[in-house]
Structure 1
Amino acid sequence: MNLKLPDSLARWRLLLGEAATPALGGLSGAARSADMALDWLYGRDSEVAARGERGAGLGPSQLSTPDWINTIHELFPKEVIERLEGDAVELYGIDEVVTNLEVLERIEPSEALLRAVLHTKHLMNPEVLAAARRLVAEVVRQIIEKMATDVRQAFAGARDRRRRSMLKVARNFDFKRTVQGNLHRWDPQRGKLFLETPVFMSRVRRHTERWDICLLIDQSGSMVESVIHSAVMASCLWNLPGMRTRLVAFDTEVVDLTSDVSDPVELLMKVQLGGGTDIAKAVGYAQSLVENPQRTVVVLVSDFCEGGSQNELVRRVKALVQSGVTMLGLAALDARADPCYDRDMAARLVREGAHVGAMTPGQLAAWLAEKVRG
């Protein structure tokens, strides 16, 4: 049953919310149910509530998320339902929406949806989980398309202007020598330079020995975006020559997920968000993996909110740095690189020789390439 179109006053009342009741009158029947469903979602918007446009004056609605899903499917047409479900995930982070199979089959894949799936996958039955996995795969594919180019370019090698290359790709194009070599083809009447022989520079690989990259990923709930991008980054690094990439997730326990690095979808579906945080234990595990300290980079992706011993964390980071390991702490690894983290702990790690910051995946790729090349 879809909601019949109410009269103009009732439509304005639905738009403006409970605050408009004195001027426009109350609602009843299906219109009242629709108002409750709209307020359940948009009533949590503080800016809208401040303007008095929506937000009930009698306290929050008692609808549960499943009740809300059922209500909007009863009252609204398809295009409105899709908009409401999309806003629930994208604007308000109501992750429980994605545990509904019909929603998952309709909703547009996005990083916001992926975050919601990772938060709620433990609530999903096998059929819903299968649909969620397909969505995760599509979003991961989109992220890889954006990230893989940055990683490949960062590790492609430095350009060598002294040598020419037969590999005619745009990033190797030598503009200066191309112009110099074709100046005799300048046509003054047309004002054009005609190129017969474009010149391309070669690239050299400066790293011949293997490097070990260990990504330690804090899987507390606040780090979900960084978890996603770390998984994809590890997958992009996995096939690079001269590199051995490990990925380790941790909360109060440490789980080595390196066997799944080549399949970021499977890796993400195994991540368990939430719980406490024992960063020192994770750093200790990284210490056990080090074979050649001078050619090892440990990347700790965390908000540095240590739930275990802070002194032990500092001691272990100091030991890694003193052994020759390059230690990078990232308070965020995502598209925005806008972190919220324990600045005091980060400062203590910096004093022990760690590099600490926030990066996009492309920036991390460039940083790693610089370290690997020396």
Structure 2
Amino acid sequence: MSRADVRADMGKGAGRIDPDLERWRLILGAAVQQTLPIDDAANGVACRQDAALDWLYGRDEDLRRRGIRPSTPGGGSGEDRRGGSEASALTVVDWLDEIHQLFPRDTVERLERDAVDQYGIEEILTDPELLSRIEPSATLLRAVLRTKHLMNPQVLALARRIVERVVRDLMERLQPQLRAAFHGSRVARPSRVRLARDFDFHGTVRANLAHYQPEERRLLIEQPRFHSRARRHLETWQLILLVDQSGSMAASVIHSAVTAACLWSLPGLKTHLVAFDTSVVDLTADVADPVELLMKAQLGGGTNVAKAVAYAAQLVENPRRAIVAVISDFYEGGDSSRLVGEVRSLVQQGSVVLGLAALDEEALPAYDRAMAQRLANVGAHVGAMTPGQLAEFVAERLGR
């Protein structure tokens, strides 16, 4: 996200002066301050929009490299500060107030996201007044998980409410598609159980053609037909999710927690959730409460994937009925040869090993491709999945 993106959106019809001219002025910002100055009298809102955008995007290193200074003093580094007649610098509180007044909700969310993710303005997440104003979002949740160790108890309580709100929204969106992967499929076998959802229309027509009344153009149904419904056998399978807690895997940590919670109560499917960095923490006891689980997660630190896979091997009860999903960027900080050996051992004893470089709704991974290839060479299935695709993969295996 850049200043030009937001300005371009907001510049459309933003002012009462020439809209095309105003749009370009909003996009270019301080670079054209002398050529296209803001007409305060005609368009005071545009002036405030410009100051709010420059407070954030004036921090961009590319602007300083090109010698362009922000139009407000809030965004520059120490050597950029100078005297002038600009408006007073905005505080974080002032800036949040301004953007909520000046911009529509979707733009506010983009600005808040960039403030936290792109420019690391952590004050938004550690000040209770600010945190209570910001709009909950998946991006904010990731930022909370990264910075919750900096929060005092009061702020942590506010942060927990954000976690609860975002997790609830995620579960409402993901649970139907995850559960749908495990629903029984209809098969071409008759059933004596008469359920409307299993009504066999074509079979019913064929069975009752002898009762067709041409003069009335009606078919009398004497023998309705119904399908039977086959259910997948889940009784003996384990799903072990190993989740890398390194900072780059924040989105996957969140979706792993929600996915595990959605699958937890399925009959016969035994789900484990294990988080790891250089240590291994079994979070299975908290799977039913993804909010509590996420509040216990510790993002950042090193990575020892081999150690986590070795722990998963100890959890396996029946190797031929176990799926071990390693969710990681595969930048191994431990012994890479040991990791390959542990995965090879699991595959050779009959377990299914998934190497997932991402588990979220976008499934756009960044990972160590060389290590991923080594794991694929010893039998792991390597790729990236959405939670729904993971559920479909597991359901397919369980149905065999």
Does TM, normalized by the shorter one, top 0.5?
Answer: yes
Give the % identical residues. Answer: 51
**Distance 1:365-1:194 versus aligned 2 partners, 3 A rule:** farther
Aligned equivalents of 2:153, 2:194: Cα separation in 1 = 49
1:240-259 mapped onto 2 (5 Å cutoff): 240-259=266-285
Select which of 40, 47, 69 maps to 2:55. Answer: 40
2:397 paired with 1:371: yes
2:162 paired with 1:140: no
Aligned equivalents of 1:156, 1:180: Cα separation in 2 = 28
Name the structure 2 match of 1:3: none
2:304 paired with 1:278: yes
Give the SS at the match of 2:364: coil
Q: For 1:277-324, what per-residue CA distance to the aligned partner results, in whole angstroms no more than 9, with x for missing partners?
A: 110111011111122111111011111111111111001100111111
The normalised TM-score by structure 1 is 0.81
2:324 paired with 1:301: no
Name the structure 1 match of 2:102: 80
Deviation at 1:108, TM superposition (A): 3.1
Letter of the 1:72 partner, please give it. Answer: W
Aligned equivalents of 1:336, 1:165: Cα separation in 2 = 44
Aligned equivalents of 1:259, 1:278: Cα separation in 2 = 22
Letter of the 2:30 partner, please give it. Answer: E
1:14-93 mapped onto 2 (5 Å cutoff): 16-24=28-36, 37-43=52-58, 56=70, 61-62=76-77, 68-72=91-95, 76=98, 78-80=100-102, 86-91=109-114, 93=117
The normalised TM-score by structure 2 is 0.76
Deviation at 1:46, TM superposition (A): 9.3
Q: For 1:176-223, what per-residue CA distance to the aligned partner results, in whole angstroms no more than 9, with x for missing partners?
A: 335545768989999999999975533223426321111000111111
2:132 paired with 1:105: yes
Deviation at 1:16, TM superposition (A): 4.1
Select which of 122, 126, 142 maps to 2:153. Answer: 126
Deviating more after overlay: 119-128 vs 198-207: 198-207
Equivalences, count: 360
Name the structure 1 match of 2:381: 355
Aligned equivalents of 2:240, 2:358: Cα separation in 1 = 16
Report if the CA contact (8 A) 1:156-1:203 is conserved: no
Give the SS at the match of 2:35: helix
Letter of the 2:178 partner, please give it. Answer: V
Report if the CA contact (8 A) 1:235-1:263 is conserved: yes
Letter of the 2:165 partner, please give it. Answer: E
Report if the CA contact (8 A) 1:215-1:246 is conserved: yes
Flag structure 2 segments of 5+ consecutive residues without an equivalent: 1-14, 79-88
Give the SS at the match of 2:33: helix
Aligned equivalents of 2:132, 2:223: Cα separation in 1 = 53
RMSD over aligned Cα, in angstroms?
3.9
Deviation at 1:145, TM superposition (A): 1.5
2:349 paired with 1:334: no
Aligned equivalents of 1:114, 1:238: Cα separation in 2 = 22
**Distance 1:77-1:331 versus aligned 2 partners, 3 A rule:** closer
**Distance 1:183-1:336 versus aligned 2 partners, 3 A rule:** farther
Report if the CA contact (8 A) 2:58-2:76 is conserved: no
Deviation at 1:44, TM superposition (A): 5.7
Deviation at 1:238, TM superposition (A): 0.9
Give the SS at the match of 2:70: coil
Q: For 1:146-189, what per-residue CA distance to the aligned partner results, in whole angstroms no more than 9, with x for missing partners?
A: 2211222211233232033747465x554533554576898999
